[in-house]
Amino acid sequence: MKKGFVKQLAGFAVASTLSVSAAHAALINVTVSGPGTATAEAAEATFLSFLKDTTTETFEGFTAATSSADQSVTINTSVGSFEQLMTGGDYASESCNADGFSCLGGLAILNQDTSPFDGRFPMPTDAANTNWLDSMDSQEVQFSLAGLFTAVGFYLTDPNDVGGLMDIVFADASSATFDLSNVFTGAHSSGGAYYLGFMSDMAITSLVFRSNDENDGFGIDNVTVGTVPEPGTLALLGLGLAGIGAMRRRKSA
């Protein structure tokens, strides 16, 4: 079991943020937009308004994969590396094995012309944005940030059909774990789009997405890393999106 505080989210109050703090505990704020492209795009704009020194990876600098030959276990980007830690199910009927792709071949940069999946698409929805990074139905995917950043945000499409967990790991090796069924308020059918934002008073080193099923995945796009300007706590408390804060306890000695 991972060290650190494990928080099962109970839900999200509309247009409000609950922040929890305690002695010797650090603060993390998690915000999730409601479903829908317009709502997600508005959430991204609001989240970015609280940050400075940001870098955003749009995946438009990559050539979209057309087969398993273009998949990779690790994909390095301007904001960090994405790594397949555990593959999904390797069955002939799985979408990740369709159209020349492989469930065992790693992650892929896709667009809607090459994708074997329904319900995953680029975000935001403008003509210049065509690519996204796809989990290819991996059971575990890790995003390791390229540097010391206290904030990270991104779009997810088609998330949480069957539920799962998300681990957030910090610079002191402590972590927080969130239940995706609570983050997204239950399982969702294909085609949903969300914007997720994370801010902390300590650098975030990685995020790990863990699916409950070997044939469930997601697309991720417009990944932004940045810093929360001082005073950081005011920014954490003042974010006007649906969200919740959770204590992150330091790693035990």
Residue 111, CA atoms < 13 Å, CB-side half-sphere:
15
Other beta carbons within 10 angstroms of residue 252's beta carbon come to 7
Lowest mean pLDDT among 4-13, 32-41, 57-66, 165-174: 4-13
pLDDT of 122 reads 96
Name which of 206, 205, 197 is nearest 244 in CA terms. 197
Segment 107-133, tens digit of pLDDT: 999 999 999 998 899 999 998 999 999
| Averaged pLDDT for residues 37-64 | 95
| Averaged pLDDT for residues 238-252 | 44
247 or 55, which is more confident: 55
Sign of the dihedral through C-alpha 96, 209, 189, 108? negative
231 or 76, which is more confident: 76
Please say whether the beta carbons of 166 and 177 come within 8 A. yes
DSSP output for 205-246: EEEEEEESSTT---EEEEEEEEEPPSSHHHHHHH--SSEEEE
Please say whether the beta carbons of 204 and 152 come within 8 A. yes
User: How far is Cα 120 from Cα 132, in angstroms, rounded to an integer?
Assistant: 9
Q: How many residues does the chain have?
A: 253
Please say whether the beta carbons of 219 and 134 come within 8 A. yes
Name which of 184, 170, 84 is nearest 134 in CA terms. 84
Please say whether the beta carbons of 84 and 107 come within 8 A. yes
Q: Cis ω on the peptide bond leading into residue 231 (within 30° of 0)?
A: yes
3-state SS, residue 151: strand
Please say whether the beta carbons of 228 and 26 come within 8 A. no
- Average pLDDT over the chain reads 80
Strand partners, 209: 141, 166
